[in-house]
Amino acid sequence: MKSCFIFAILAFFPFVCLVTYKNYTSGGLFEILLKQLQSNDCQDLYAEGLSFKNQYSDFNDEYKTELKERVRSIFLSSLYNYYEYAFPKDELNPIDCKGRGPDYGNPSNININDVLGNYSLTLIDSLDSIAVMGTKEQFHQAVQDVIRVVDFDQDSIVQVFESNIRILGSLLSAHLLLTVETGLGNLTLNGYESELLSMAQDLGTRLLQAFDVSPLGLPHPRVNLRDGVPTNWSAENCLAGAGSFLLEFGLLSRLTGDPVYEWKARRATKALWNMRSNGTGLLGNTFDVETGIWNSKLSGLGAGMDSYYEYLLKSFILFGEQGDLDMFEEAYTTIKKYMRRGRTSCLDGIGDHPLYVNVNMDTGTTHSAWIDALQASFPGVQVLYGDVDEAICQHAVYHAIWRKYGLMPERYNWQLKTPEILFYPLRPEFVESTYLLYQATKHPYYLHVGKEILWSLEQYAKCNCGYCTVHNIIDRTLEDRMESFFLSETCKYLYLLFDENHALNHNAEKFIFTTEGHVIPVMDLPPVVPLPQILAMLPLDSNDTKTPTQVIILK
């Protein structure tokens, strides 16, 4: 029987078995990882001739505690400097030690304006990280600061996807940590009256405007938080950008009693699902939300596509909706059929090391010879699904890249064996997969990977008052930006990797992480309107304009 592991919802998968340490200490794992790390341009990494098993011996408790505390120090010092130099602005510039907000003078500067909305982004995105790595008092202070300062009535044009995963998801996570018994200790805040939930609903309602323009129910990529969908802006969205709302919008509906958020999210998810290629069943990358016509037929697992598949699986884990799992399983089968290259068996056999490549959605032929840093999260999805062997092999690819450069390039050409895009904005995806694979296997190899990541952050990214984007991984030049996901995800996953006794690790079946790393307790939250009725409303054609309140009448 194939070994498998479900990290977040064992109860929903009675047919799987937990991976134990002994499953992955035999020759298979060591052989494949050693071959991967010694192959091609990575041969010099192990020239010292140390045995693989001895090189990756376990850490004692004292050393794991030291590593954990180093991560905590990175997080808390960065948060302190944000408070000192930037709050209530969205981000801290870690080189000049100043705050950064939207670029109102240049609305087309979407690199900044898609994310920064004048809503204290870094603090909100860090709330549950403070609960994980800080003290109860620090968490409560941050919650009170958010309630006191943040107002979403802003003349800011923001990306709907980013506002959803970074802001809405964090508000819901923090609200649940304050009000639900989670095993993380008593985080109850005296006088708290669900203000974070009210703020989440306010933001969610503003984001809903993006879903109201397309006849297909596909969200526009951006909204003005005050005025709705801006005129004369691009209607091009991407698969992940339009299809990663099931968790946050589903939770918002179930916590507020208003079904419209979950209905809009499921309608968009289903509309995208219906846009699969007739020939292959694959989905593309970018499309026009008004017509549903694909602009980019690149099909892959990286930027613009990744979290659509992630949320199909995680929505099943959180809500138990069988249809979400059915879609994920069909998508995963199609992905393995058309995107996977290399030998059939991941851990043994002859042929090239397995790799998932970008393909044309209509033909399944190779589209391009690069993989990107966001695709490094997919081994974590494979762990959640129980395909641990595949996850081990794909993670090894990214570890080989990290070992070669000491950091992860944004894009790497696997054919030419060279990076194509050289910056590293402190992304969490490789750290996330490392953490989940350690939880699945308990193999010390992943602790060593985490140690390497921590060393690189301290060595290459530390700057005046925080941690910087590495502008060029070759010459190590820095950029004056610290994205909020560094505190929300990168530090959190790295900390939890070393803190084996943390409640999140001891009660893994009771939690799920959103795509932004926000902690959500898995609990019984029935839909406001029964899911069969919501699903019956999902569009069959572009003329379907029924609303959730009509569901009950129709049924």
Binding-site residue positions for Ca(2+): 515
Q: Which of 91, 125, 162, 390 is catalytic?
A: 162
Helix (H) or strand (E) holding 521: strand 519-521
Output the CA angle 313-314-320, nearest 5 degrees: 85
Q: What is the DSSP letter of 546?
A: -
Helix (H) or strand (E) holding 64: helix 61-85
Tell me, yes or no, if 125 is annotated catalytic: no
CA distances from 336 to 117, 302, 387, 526 (A): 38, 15, 12, 33
Helix (H) or strand (E) holding 404: helix 388-405
The radius of gyration computed from the CA coordinates of the chain, to the nearest angstrom, equals: 22
- HEC assignment per residue over 156-184: CEEEHHHHHHHHHHHHHHHHHHHHCCCCC
First-to-last CA distance in the chain? Answer: 44
Contact between 90 and 114 under an 8 Å Cβ cutoff? The reply is no
Three-state DSSP state, 283: coil
Tell me, yes or no, if 69 is annotated catalytic: no
Q: Which of 114, 262, 410, 499 is catalytic?
A: 410
Helix (H) or strand (E) holding 318: helix 306-319
Q: Spell 134-168 as b/e; 16+ CB within 10 A means b.
A: beeeebbebbebbeeebebebebbbbbbbbbbbbb
CA distances from 113 to 102, 116, 162 (A): 5, 5, 11
Tell me, yes or no, if 410 is annotated catalytic: yes
Annotated binding site: 515
Instruction: State the burial class of residue 191 (Cβ atoms within 10 Å of its Cβ: 0-12, 13-18, 19+).
Output: exposed
Three-state DSSP state, 520: strand
Amino acid at 356: Y
- 95 φ, ψ (degrees, to nearest 5): -95, -50
Tell me, yes or no, if 458 is annotated catalytic: no
Give residue 116's Cα distance to chain centre: 18
- CA 265 – CA 184 distance, rounded (Å): 30
Token pair for residue 120? 């204290």
Three-state DSSP state, 71: helix
User: Cβ of 542: how many Cβ atoms within 10 Å?
Assistant: 14
Instruction: State the burial class of residue 363 (Cβ atoms within 10 Å of its Cβ: 0-12, 13-18, 19+).
Output: middle
Token pair for residue 81? 């400097």
Q: Which of 258, 154, 163 is nearest to 201 (CA)?
A: 258
What are residue 521's DSSP bridge partners?
A: 511
Catalytic residues: 162, 306, 410, 429
